């Protein structure tokens, strides 16, 4: 009713104003003659109704000039009535809209509009692909992120994560990349463009391949002869003795700790003394039939001369120069001091952790290195490393895959340069970690830790999981340690899930909105001409997207969440429907193993970047 009162008041004031203006114009046209009567206020301000009095008094005068003046007065009245009516309607409509407007009392969640989508920076035309969005004109716009933010995608099996996220990104990302490539599909569809058009050095590391795989020996990354060698070996041991990253408790924890200490010494010995300086060589040494018993092996380690010329300055506990590496000597002495039965159990545990390297194909592909992890960010060309893992060997190869990723992160996040009080890039190429089925690698401690700072070193993570359950199983609730994984991935993408916990999470991420409901009540007799209608409006909260609505998302739709912005209701990309992507995917994959970098001029490489 307040709106009606305001509209009526506006109309009445408009009419009065029009009459008053007409009166003053009429008085001016008559030259303020005394015959008009006494003004309301000196010198020439007349009462609004004086114009009506003059019209009634002088309407019979036949003078054309007088008739013209009164005609003007009538016209002003008419215009005033129309203007007052329009003003009243505007006031009434605005008042009605105000009553219909929903407040943010219970939440303000909403889908991002065009202005808000632009504000996210995802329409910049560079970087990784996180989806698509249809603008007001119906055009499908790709959403891409080229900033340091990490991306986490929830995409069930067969939901289109490959065709919509992974492949478009790899067919346009101009820098180095490490791709966890289950089945080798990404290599088949993207490596051709990355090598022949982009100019990237392409490496296909498939430890189970009898031929056609690049080789990588994790022990080649140990900085032997430096103060970092023990740390580097310890990091290797930590990964291979905890293949799931879950740690151990009770008696199992004891055997892991003791075998880790022993392996630290054995690996150090192999690097200094043995011809086969690989984990396969470590496995062979521990099972070498030349040793009649375990104590003979320990005695051999205790007396091995790792520095025959005493150039490294090692000393034993008595301070005397020694040719045996102190770490190796301590590990061997520790085993000799143990009860024979316990020492045998420690040895058996160590051998069990190296079972993978008894496979001659794996041992051969990890016996030498065709690349170093530093090449990814500091090589002559960008490098594309495809970690190809057959589905049947995911669990078996988990220790090796985890070890490779661990070393990539650790060794590329060590040195940061500063100039003028600010950090500066100390790398030649940015690095994208495209890790599909991320939780299948188990809990990677370095990933939880490094996500918070590795962007400063030029590393961007793109992690893909099927659902929340997978992530929780590997890292604990939503990425463990107060949701570390989720908290450090500022962009999250989701396709239609099939697990309830993921539906509930996405519903929470979308947020809560305020909805308005109206109830009407009527009073009066059934046949009354006028019936009183009472409208009662109430506001309540509801999820912007309920779990059930999340479950029923169309297969072509996607949800994109960017920290600090409204959620985007987007679309899924299909690379094969884009002529540029389809043409790039048809370029044949390289037939070599990537052991030698190709020679592509920088100009040719740059000419293809950003063409998508």
Q: Do 560 and 441 share a domain, yes or no?
A: yes
pLDDT tens sequence across 443-469: 888 888 889 899 999 999 999 999 999
Q: Do 230 and 198 share a domain, yes or no?
A: no
Domain boundary among 331, 362, 393: 362
The helix (run of H) or strand (run of E) holding residue 265 is helix 250-273
The reported pLDDT for the residue numbered 609 is 32
Q: Do 248 and 176 share a domain, yes or no?
A: no
Q: Do 518 and 409 share a domain, yes or no?
A: yes
Q: Are 106 and 540 in contact (CB under 8 A)?
A: yes
Record the tokens describing residue 117, joined without a space. Answer: 């989508």
Least confident of 2-6, 361-365, 399-403: 2-6
The 3 state secondary structure assigned to 22-37 is HHHHHHHHCCCCHHHC
Query: Which residues, listed in sequence order, are joined to residue 516 by a DSSP beta bridge?
Result: 539
Residue 183, in any domain of the structure: yes
Residue 594, in any domain of the structure: no
DSSP readout, 279-304? HHHHHHHHT-TTSSSHHHHHHHHHH-
Q: Are 377 and 427 in contact (CB under 8 A)?
A: yes
Residue 255, in any domain of the structure: yes
Give the separation between CA 197 and CA 596, rounded to whole angstroms. Answer: 17
pLDDT of 246 strictly over 90: no
pLDDT tens sequence across 200-239: 999 999 999 999 899 999 999 999 999 999 999 999 999 9
- CB-based burial, 520-530: b 16+ in 10 Å, e otherwise: eeeeeeeeeee
Query: Which residues, listed in sequence order, are joined to residue 83 by a DSSP beta bridge?
Result: none
Q: Which residue has the higher pLDDT, 376 or 24?
A: 376
Residue 113, in any domain of the structure: no
- CA distance to 111, 136, 545, 558, per residue, from 114 (Å): 10, 7, 20, 17
Distance, first Cα to last Cα, the chain: 58
Q: Do 19 and 168 share a domain, yes or no?
A: no
Q: Which residue has the higher pLDDT, 151 or 1?
A: 151
User: Where would I find the H helices in 418-531?
Assistant: 445-450, 468-475, 484-488, 500-510
pLDDT tens sequence across 341-385: 999 999 999 999 999 999 999 999 999 999 999 999 999 999 999
Round the average pLDDT of the chain to a whole number and report it. 86
Residue 602's pLDDT band (cuts 50, 70, 90) = very low
The reported pLDDT for the residue numbered 515 is 67
* CATH classification of the domain holding 190: 3.40.50.300
Say whether 534 sits in a helix, a strand or coil: strand
Residue 461 CA neighbour count, 13 Å, CB half? 29
pLDDT tens sequence across 302-355: 999 999 999 999 998 888 999 999 999 999 999 999 999 999 999 999 999 999
- Please say whether the dihedral angle defined by the alpha carbons of residues 334, 339, 342 and 344, taken in this order, is positive or negative: positive
Q: Do 283 and 333 share a domain, yes or no?
A: yes
The reported pLDDT for the residue numbered 195 is 95
Q: Are 214 and 468 in contact (CB under 8 A)?
A: no
Q: Do 426 and 299 share a domain, yes or no?
A: no
* Nearest to 171, CA basis, from 597, 610, 594: 610
Give the separation between CA 61 and CA 49, rounded to whole angstroms. Answer: 20
Domain boundary among 328, 362, 396: 362
Say whether 187 sits in a helix, a strand or coil: helix
Eight-state DSSP code of residue 164? I
pLDDT of 597 strictly over 50: no
Average pLDDT over every residue of 499-524: 80
Q: Do 157 and 198 share a domain, yes or no?
A: yes
Eight-state DSSP code of residue 321? B
Residue 595's pLDDT band (cuts 50, 70, 90) = low
Q: Return the beta strands (E) in 436-567 as ranges.
A: 459-465, 491-494, 512-523, 532-543, 557-562
Give the distance, in angstroms, between the CA of residue 572 and the centroid of all CA atoms in the same chain: 16
Residue 594's pLDDT band (cuts 50, 70, 90) = low
Residue 100's pLDDT band (cuts 50, 70, 90) = low
Q: Do 148 and 289 share a domain, yes or no?
A: no
Q: Do 390 and 250 share a domain, yes or no?
A: no
Q: Do 478 and 556 share a domain, yes or no?
A: yes
Query: Which residues, listed in sequence order, are joined to residue 523 by a DSSP beta bridge?
Result: 532
**What's this model's pTM, rounded to 2 decimal places?**
0.80
Q: Are 433 and 248 in contact (CB under 8 A)?
A: no
Residue 519's pLDDT band (cuts 50, 70, 90) = low
The reported pLDDT for the residue numbered 316 is 87
The reported pLDDT for the residue numbered 527 is 53
The reported pLDDT for the residue numbered 283 is 96
Backbone angles phi, psi at 539, to 5 degrees: -110, 140
Residue 43's pLDDT band (cuts 50, 70, 90) = confident
Give the separation between CA 51 and CA 44, rounded to whole angstroms. Answer: 13
The reported pLDDT for the residue numbered 4 is 64
The helix (run of H) or strand (run of E) holding residue 431 is strand 431-435
The reported pLDDT for the residue numbered 599 is 41
The helix (run of H) or strand (run of E) holding residue 180 is strand 176-182
Residue 561's pLDDT band (cuts 50, 70, 90) = very high
Least confident of 140-144, 387-391, 608-612: 608-612
- Angle value at C-alpha 315, between 314 and 321, nearest 5 degrees: 90
* Nearest to 447, CA basis, from 152, 127, 145, 166: 152
pLDDT of 490 strictly over 90: yes
Q: Do 327 and 473 share a domain, yes or no?
A: no
C-alpha torsion 94→100→106→110, nearest 10: -80
* Nearest to 379, CA basis, from 421, 331, 430: 430
**How many contiguous H segments (helices) and E segments (strands) does the chain have?**
23, 15
Total count of domains within the chain: 3
pLDDT of 11 strictly over 60: yes
The reported pLDDT for the residue numbered 174 is 96
The helix (run of H) or strand (run of E) holding residue 204 is strand 201-205
What domain range is 23 assigned to?
A: 2-100
Domain boundary among 313, 328, 362: 362
Residue 600, in any domain of the structure: no
Residue 136, in any domain of the structure: yes
Residue 21, in any domain of the structure: yes
Indicate the length of the chain as a whole number.
612
- CA distance to 51, 180, 206, 218, 356, per residue, from 366 (Å): 105, 17, 10, 7, 11
- Please say whether the dihedral angle defined by the alpha carbons of residues 265, 270, 271 and 274, taken in this order, is positive or negative: positive
């Amino acid at each position: 009713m307040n709106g009606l009162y305001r509209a009526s008041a506006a109309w009445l004031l408009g009419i009065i104003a029009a009459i008053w203006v007409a009166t003053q114009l009429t008085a001016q046209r008559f030259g303020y003659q005394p015959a008009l009567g006494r003004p309301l206020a000196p010198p020439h301000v007349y009462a609004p109704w004086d114009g009506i009095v003059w019209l009634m008094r002088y309407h019979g005068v036949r003078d054309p000039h007088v008739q013209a003046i009164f005609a003007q007065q009538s016209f002003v009245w008419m215009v005033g009535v129309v203007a007052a009516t329009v003003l009243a309607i505007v006031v009434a409509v605005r008042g009605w809209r105000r009553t219909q407007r929903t407040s943010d009392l219970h939440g303000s969640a909403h889908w991002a509009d065009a202005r808000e989508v632009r504000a996210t920076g995802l329409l910049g035309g560079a970087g990784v692909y996180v989806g698509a969005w249809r603008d007001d004109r119906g055009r499908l716009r790709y959403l891409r992120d080229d900033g340091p933010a990490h991306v986490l995608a929830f995409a069930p099996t067969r939901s289109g994560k490959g065709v919509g996220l992974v492949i478009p990104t790899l067919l346009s990302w101009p820098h180095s990349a490490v791709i966890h490539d289950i089945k080798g599909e990404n290599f088949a569809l993207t490596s051709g463009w990355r090598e022949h058009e982009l100019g990237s050095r392409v490496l296909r590391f498939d430890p189970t391949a009898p031929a056609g795989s690049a080789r990588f020996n994790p022990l080649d990354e140990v900085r032997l002869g430096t103060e970092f060698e023990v740390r580097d070996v310890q990091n290797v041991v930590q990964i291979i003795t905890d293949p799931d990253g879950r740690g151990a408790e009770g008696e199992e924890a004891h055997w892991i700790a003791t075998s880790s200490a022993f392996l630290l010494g054995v690996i150090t010995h192999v690097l200094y003394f043995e011809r086969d300086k690989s984990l396969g060589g470590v496995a062979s040494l521990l099972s070498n039939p030349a040793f009649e018993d375990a104590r003979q092996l320990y005695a051999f380690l205790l007396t091995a001369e790792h520095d025959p010329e005493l150039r490294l300055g090692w000393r034993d506990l008595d301070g005397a120069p020694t040719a045996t590496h102190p770490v190796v000597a301590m590990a061997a002495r520790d085993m000799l001091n143990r009860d024979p039965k316990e020492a045998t159990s420690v040895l058996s545990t160590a051998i069990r952790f190296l079972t993978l390297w008894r496979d001659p194909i794996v041992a051969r592909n990890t016996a030498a290195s065709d690349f170093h992890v530093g090449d990814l960010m500091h090589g002559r060309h960008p490098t594309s490393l495809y970690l190809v893992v057959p589905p049947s060997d995911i669990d078996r190869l988990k220790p090796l895959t985890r070890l490779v990723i661990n070393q990539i992160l650790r060794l590329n996040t060590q040195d940061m340069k500063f100039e003028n009080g600010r950090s500066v890039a100390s790398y030649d190429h940015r690095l994208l970690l495209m890790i599909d089925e991320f939780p299948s690698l188990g809990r990677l401690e370095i990933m939880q830790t490094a996500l918070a700072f590795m962007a400063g070193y030029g590393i961007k993570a793109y992690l893909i999981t099927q659902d929340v359950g997978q992530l929780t199983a590997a890292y604990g609730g939503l990425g463990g340690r107060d949701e570390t994984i989720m908290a450090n991935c500022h962009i999250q993408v989701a396709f239609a899930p099939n697990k309830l916990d993921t539906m509930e999470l996405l519903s929470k991420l979308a947020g809560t909105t305020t909805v308005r409901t109206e109830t009407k009540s009527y009073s009066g007799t059934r046949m009354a001409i006028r019936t009183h209608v009472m409208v009662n409006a109430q506001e309540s909260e509801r999820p912007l997207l309920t779990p059930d609505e999340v479950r029923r998302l169309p297969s072509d739709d996607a949800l994109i969440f960017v920290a600090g912005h409204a959620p985007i209701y987007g679309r899924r990309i299909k690379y094969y429907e884009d002529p540029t992507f389809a043409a790039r995917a048809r370029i044949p994959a390289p037939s070599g193993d990537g052991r030698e970098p190709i020679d592509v001029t920088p100009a040719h490489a740059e000419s293809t970047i950003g063409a998508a």
